[in-house]
Amino acid sequence: DVKVTQSSRYLVKRTGEKVFLECVQDMDHENMFWYRQDPGLGLRLIYFSYDVKMKEKGDIPEGYSVSREKKERFSLILESASTNQTSMYLCASRTIAGVNTGELFFGEGSRLTVL
Amino acid sequence: AQKITQTQPGMFVQEKEAVTLDCTYDTSDPSYGLFWYKQPSSGEMIFLIYQGSYDQQNATEGRYSLNFQKARKSANLVISASQLGDSAMYFCATYQAGTALIFGKGTTLSVSS
């Protein structure tokens, strides 16, 4: 079975803390993605990565950075957490299929609360 | 830029009834695909069904079918014979210029007995 694993299901952090959200996939997928999900807003793309050491900004990259040192791992970093970053964070991956085809495989999500 | 619109924030249906969840899209890509995902209360996103823009037949996967009307730019999800376990949020999505999926805001489906 394909598997995308996010390191923490629930996190509580304080304002100003540095936060790492880890995501690991075991499918040898090239592309990986970080989304955040907020009520009434759907899923919004933060960053994505085509392959190792590559990264692209999504629609809402401000306040976030990412790291992809190994193909299977894609980390989302909040350099200085703020209360407006309280959200559900979803990691996903996919293999390189056609240009606009190929479903994303998602992790179970990480619900972050920043106090 | 591509855009997905889901106009139904919530839908309510009884068990065994069929339900249609609406999705309209806007894209400039000549070749594209539409995806539907289900998100139960546990949070994971489950891929349901896919339709490519050049597919001749509407996609079906078990009780799920996709009513694809290209001229109207709509890709509605039809769930036949609803079950209690279908209660979840449903998202429609398409690729943004071959990079990443963009999602609609979702529709919450509630199935009652």
Task: At A45, list the tokens.
Answer: 């793309």
Q: Looking at chain A, how many residues does it have?
A: 115
Q: Which residues contact B84 (CB under 8 A, 6 or more apart)?
A: B15, B111, B112, B113
Mean pLDDT, rounded, for A2-13: 92
For the stretch B81-94, pLDDT in tens is: 999 999 999 999 99
- Which of A35, A43, A44, A111 should be substituted to probe chain B, the one whose Cβ sees the most B Cβ atoms within 10 Å? A43
- Which of A37, A56, A100, A105 should be substituted to probe chain B, the one whose Cβ sees the most B Cβ atoms within 10 Å? A100
**What's the CA gap between A16 and A114, in Å, rounded?**
9
Mean pLDDT, rounded, for B31-57: 93
Q: What is the pLDDT of residue A95?
A: 86
Q: What is the pLDDT of residue A98?
A: 65
Residues of chain B found within 8 Å of residue A33, distances taken between Cβ atoms = 100-101
Q: Which of the four pLDDT bands, split at 50, 70 and 90, describes residue B64? A: very high
pLDDT at B6 over 80: yes
A-side interface with B, Cβ within 8 Å? 33, 35, 40-43, 45, 48, 56, 58, 88, 90, 92, 98-101, 103-109, 111
Q: What is the pLDDT of residue B31?
A: 85
Q: Which of the four pLDDT bands, split at 50, 70 and 90, describes residue B99? A: confident
Return the residue of A nearest to B1 by Cα. Answer: A59
Q: How far apart are the first and last CA of chain A?
A: 37
Mean pLDDT, rounded, for B32-52: 94
Mean pLDDT, rounded, for A60-89: 97
Q: What is the pLDDT of residue B28?
A: 85
Beta carbons of B96 and B1 less than 8 angstroms apart: yes
pLDDT at B45 over 80: yes
**What's the CA gap between A84 and B95, in Å, rounded?**
27
Report CA Rg, chain A: 13
Q: Which residues contact A72 (CB under 8 A, 6 or more apart)?
A: A24, A25, A26, A28
The phi and psi torsions of B111 (rounded to 5 degrees) equal -110, 125
Q: Which of the four pLDDT bands, split at 50, 70 and 90, describes residue A30? A: very high
**What's the CA gap between B18 and A111, in Å, rounded?**
33
Residue environment code for A72-104, b if the CB has 16+ CB neighbours within 10 A, otherwise e: bbbbbebeebeeebbbbbbbbbbeeeeebebbb
pLDDT at B24 over 90: yes
Share of chain A above pLDDT 90, in %: 88
Mean pLDDT, rounded, for B45-59: 92
Q: What is the pLDDT of residue B96?
A: 85
Return the residue of A nearest to B106 by Cα. Answer: A42
For the stretch A31-72, pLDDT in tens is: 999 999 999 899 999 999 999 999 999 999 999 999 999 999
